[in-house]
Structure formats: C-alpha cells, structure tokens
C-alpha cells in the first residue's frame, strides 16, 4: 500500500499530548485520494486534528467498487521504512510482491502483514482474472524506536481467531481482543478487529480502558456508543472505556482499531515513518539511487519515483493538530 500523493505533506504525530483521558465522540471525515490507475480511497488517518490511534498511523478505506471491466488495484513498487502495513479485504483479491521475494495473494479476511523495518519495497495489484468487486482497508502501524530498524519481513495468516456471541462475530486481525490473540507479529500493545453485526444486534464489546480506540464502518450502518456511523466514516472514541456498545439495524461490518497511546513523536512523509527530517531525506535519496530497498521482481511496470522533498523542514510534533 502506498501514499501516492505527488505533493505529500509532512505529518508530525505521536506523543501522549492530545489523547483524551476519557471517552469522546470525534467523527473523522474521509478525504478522497487516488490510489494507482483506477482506485480511489477514502483516507481517514492521518486527518486534520487526529493523526494516530495507538500505533495506527494511516487508514484508507476503498470500495466496494465494481472492477469487472477495470484493472482494479495497481500500485507499482514503492518503499517503506519504520512501519508495518496491514492489508485487509472484505471483497476481491490483492497480489502482494516484495523485495524479499514474497509472492502472495491475499483474500477476504486473511491477514497480509508486512514489517518494513529498516527498508523494504513492495507492489500490490488485483490479479489477472480478478473478481468483480474490490473492497477493503489499507492500514499502517508505526514501529517503536526499539524495533524500527528490525529486519524486514512478510507474514500471511489465513486462519485468524474469532470472538463471537449473540448477534456478532469479531475476527482478531492484530493484537488481542477478549482473550483471543492474532498470530500476527506486533511491537506495541495494539488491537485490530473486524466485527460483523447481525440485523438487530445489541452488543457490549469488552475493551481495554488504557487503550484509545476508533471504529471504521465498512458496510451497513452501525450505532457505535449511541452514535450513527455511516459506511466509510470513522469515529474516534478516546480512552477510559471497559466496554463498547454496538448496535445494527440491518447487518453491518466495522473495523475496531485501538492501542496504548504511542508515546514517541514521529515524522511521516510519503511512505516513510521516521524520527527526523534528515532520516526521511536519506530514505528518499536511497530509494531514488537504487540503494537499500531491494528490487520487486515480477511486477509489469516501473517503480514509483519519490516526490520532491518539501521546502519546509520536517520535524516531529504531537499527535493532533
């Protein structure tokens, strides 16, 4: 997954400043951004006023799109440092290639997890003969300073734990929910869960009071803690809860994202998460010079060139505006 903005703005985020000490309702409006040749995404993080939820620092929602006569997702090779990417689908398939030699088709409700560590490059595309619908979310998780230069890696987990009860089923994507733990590698206390609600569901989901949370409605209409959230919208919930009320009038699906507030301050630009502007500039120079990030083999197309660096100095600040 990539930020394909040709003039990306630096985003300073992280730190506990701006994390509410209790529950809140903060609706995060999406911003429409083109992704590759034929896909338009709704960008929810970073947004104006809210840049992180736990270690989650980037959230795109796309679809459901009819790609019957379209190429679908076509994202050429591009680089990453300092983060993990999470590929999550409700419909369609995405073919992942990376500079480690990984070649994997990710299907609905399977976890594609790539840890960039010090440097990796990858591509994503709808495979030939793809299905008619593409629907999913693309997410980034910031790595803490102790692990951000770790060896790059890719994981694919087709079987994930499920927590279920009357009117709901929750697939644990990352971290732990109600005692069920995902096999995906994590580096900070975090949770990501895909929750399906049946028509008429009235659920009180157990959550961690020390975590901050946000919920993204993927399909249908969900009432989250008493507030209606339409598809493609995300509600930031703050912290201090021990349970989260969820209701559905008609079936619905949502992503619950949460984690301990990320204490370190970061600077994020294009596809890089770092601590200083100098690190960002060095990563850009290495990518353009063919160093450090390796080669993605098998993709029919050229790598994405890095945009020009902004004229303003990049420096880390807080997690909100």
Q: Is 25 annotated as a binding residue?
A: no
Would you say the pTM of this structure is higher than 0.85?
yes
CATH number of 11-259: 2.60.120.10
User: What is the token pair recorded at 70?
Assistant: 């379209």
Q: Which residue has the tokens 């790609």?
A: 67
Tally Cβ neighbours within 10 Å of residue 288: 12
Residue 20 has a pLDDT of 81
**pLDDT score of 311:** 80
The residue among 286, 236, 276 whose CA lies nearest residue 54 is: 236
Contact between 13 and 318 (Cβ < 8 Å): yes
Whole-number pLDDT of residue 34: 78
- Report residues of the chain scoring pLDDT below 70: 1-17, 35-38, 315-321
Instruction: For residue 263, give the nearest of 209, 318, 208 by alpha carbon.
Output: 318
- Annotated ligand binding at 122? The verdict is yes
* Rg (alpha carbons) of the chain, rounded to whole number: 18
CA–CA separation, 49 and 177 (whole Å):
27
The answer to whether 153 and 186 are in contact (CB under 8 A) is no
Answer whether 91's CB lies under 8 Å from 71's CB.
no
Q: How far apart are CA 135 and CA 218, in angstroms?
A: 9
- Give exposure, 75-84, as e/b (b: 16+ Cβ within 10 Å): bbbbbbbbbb
Residue 135 marked in a binding site? no
What pLDDT, on a 0 to 100 scale, did the predictor assign at position 3? Answer: 62
Q: ∠ at Cα 60 (203, 79), nearest 5°?
A: 135
Q: How many C-beta neighbours within 10 Å does residue 32 have?
A: 9
Q: 130: annotated binding-site residue?
A: no
- The phi, psi pair for 261, rounded to 5°, reads -50, 135
C-alpha span between 95 and 86 (Å, rounded): 13
Cα 311 vs. chain centroid, distance in angstroms? Answer: 28
Q: Cis omega before residue 64 (within 30°)?
A: yes
Helix (H) or strand (E) holding 106: strand 103-106
Confirm if 42 and 32 have CB atoms less than 8 A apart: yes
CB 58 within 8 A of CB 23: no
Structure confidence at residue 16 (pLDDT): 65
Question: What pLDDT is stored for residue 10 in this prediction?
Answer: 65
**Where along the chain do its domains lie?**
11-259
């Amino acid at each position: 997954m990539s930020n394909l903005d040709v003039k990306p703005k630096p985003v300073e985020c992280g730190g506990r400043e701006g994390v509410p000490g209790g529950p809140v309702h903060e609706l995060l409006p999406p911003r429409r951004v083109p992704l590759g040749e034929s896909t338009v995404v709704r960008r929810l993080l970073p947004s104006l006023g809210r840049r992180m939820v736990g270690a989650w620092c980037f959230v795109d929602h796309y679809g459901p799109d009819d790609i019957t006569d379209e190429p679908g997702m076509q994202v050429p090779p591009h680089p990453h440092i300092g983060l993990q990417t999470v590929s999550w689908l409700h419909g369609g398939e995405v073919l992942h290639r990376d500079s480690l030699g990984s070649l994997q088709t990710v299907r609905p409700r399977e976890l594609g997890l790539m840890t960039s560590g010090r440097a990796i490059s990858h591509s994503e595309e709808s495979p030939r003969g793809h299905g008619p619908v593409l629907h999913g979310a693309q997410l980034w998780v910031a790595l803490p300073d102790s692990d951000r230069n770790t060896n790059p890696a890719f994981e694919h987990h087709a079987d994930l734990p499920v927590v279920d009860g009357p009117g709901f089923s929750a697939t644990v994507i990352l971290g732990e929910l109600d005692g069920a733990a995902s096999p995906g590698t994590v580096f900070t206390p975090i949770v990501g869960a895909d929750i399906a609600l049946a028509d008429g569901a009235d659920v009180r989901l157990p959550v961690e009071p020390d975590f901050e949370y946000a919920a993204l409605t993927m399909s249908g209409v969900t009432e989250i803690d008493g507030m209606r959230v339409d598809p493609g919208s995300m509600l930031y919930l703050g912290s201090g809860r021990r349970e989260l009320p969820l209701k559905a009038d008609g079936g619905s699906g949502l992503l619950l994202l949460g984690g301990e507030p990320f204490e370190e301050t970061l600077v994020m630009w294009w596809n890089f998460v770092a601590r200083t502007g100098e690190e960002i500039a060095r990563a850009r120079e290495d990518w353009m010079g063919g160093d450090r990030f390796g080669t993605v083999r098998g993709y029919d197309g050229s790598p994405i060139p890095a945009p020009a660096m902004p004229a303003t100095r990049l420096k880390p600040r807080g997690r909100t505006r």
